[in-house]
Amino acid sequence: MKKILTFISTLTLSTLVFSAHALYVGSEVFTLESDKSFFSRTYLNNTDRTNLYKIHVYKIEKPGGKEKDEKQLPIEDGEILYTPLQKVLLPNEHEFFKLFYKGAKDDKERYYRIIIEETPVNLVPYQENSKQPLVVPTVGLNTVMVIRPREMKFTYDHNNVAGTIKNTGNTYFRLLLNDKCDSDEENAKILQLLPGESYQHPWLKKEHKQFIIAFDRYIGLENNCASN
């Protein structure tokens, strides 16, 4: 079966690929900007069967590396609210995942892992003497939700002699690097830098296509081709 759906699972761009018979969510990393407290995303049952969807949200110290090594943190009472907890969708039916952030308004960035479980409901939906649907094992799709700091500081240090860049602010950004000025994004190196993280590469020294991507903007670095 042709695999067509790509779902980004962590800020380090680990990629999970699912078949055409899967839940579709139109996003990569989910980001709630510093001036927003409400987030919504559509998810679609693009299969030919009726599915039960369950949503779980876990707070983590930071994304990156292997998911099993992520450190989970307690969620304070009322910090985040989300809906629905679960939903049955018919083929090609969609629903809105909604999240409200009610937590601290400070200078700290917060990360949550969002897992959406998809469980096909059997063609024979009910057992005798039971109102519970029969289901087969679930298939989980997951991503990371970033809550940008309410008191945000976006700064970075780019050293074009050493070929380094460091995130000196308190919120993540995406870095796009290309080997040539006329190269397209399909051949680019794309990574995410969390607060305090740094990256070194020869393409950060000389004239190459270099952008920081944040806040729906492309921000050219000093040696970026477009700056000349």
Domains and CATH numbers, the chain: 3-147 (2.60.40.10), 156-227 (no CATH)
Q: Which long-range contacts (CB under 8 A, 24 or more apart) does 28-32 make?
A: 28/143, 29/143, 29/144, 29/145, 29/146, 29/192, 30/114, 30/143, 30/144, 30/145, 30/146, 31/145, 31/146, 31/148, 32/99, 32/101, 32/145, 32/146, 32/147, 32/148
Q: What is the pLDDT of residue 157?
A: 96
β-pairing, 110-126 vs 51-60, is antiparallel
Positions in the chain short of pLDDT 70? 1-27, 65, 122-137, 139-140, 226-228
pLDDT tens column, 87-123 = 999 999 999 999 999 999 999 999 999 998 888 886 4
Contacts of 66 (CB under 8 A, 6+ apart): none
Q: What is the pLDDT of residue 5?
A: 28
Chain Cα centroid distance, residue 3: 20
Structure tokens given for 72: 């989970």
Q: What is the pLDDT of residue 171?
A: 97
Q: What is the pLDDT of residue 19?
A: 33
Predicted model pTM: 0.79
184, 108, 182: which is closest to 146 by C-alpha? Answer: 108
Q: What is the pLDDT of residue 95?
A: 93
Q: What is the pLDDT of residue 6?
A: 28
Structure tokens given for 129: 């003497």
Q: What is the pLDDT of residue 8?
A: 28
Q: What is the pLDDT of residue 90?
A: 94
Q: By the 8 A CB rule, do 53 and 118 touch?
A: yes
Rounded Cα distance between 53 and 46, Å, is 13
Q: What is the pLDDT of residue 149?
A: 98
Radius of gyration of the chain from its Cα atoms, rounded to whole angstroms: 20
Distances (CA, A) of 95 to 88, 121, 126, 132: 9, 17, 24, 22
Q: What is the pLDDT of residue 104?
A: 94
148, 175, 162, 168: which is closest to 205 by C-alpha? Answer: 162
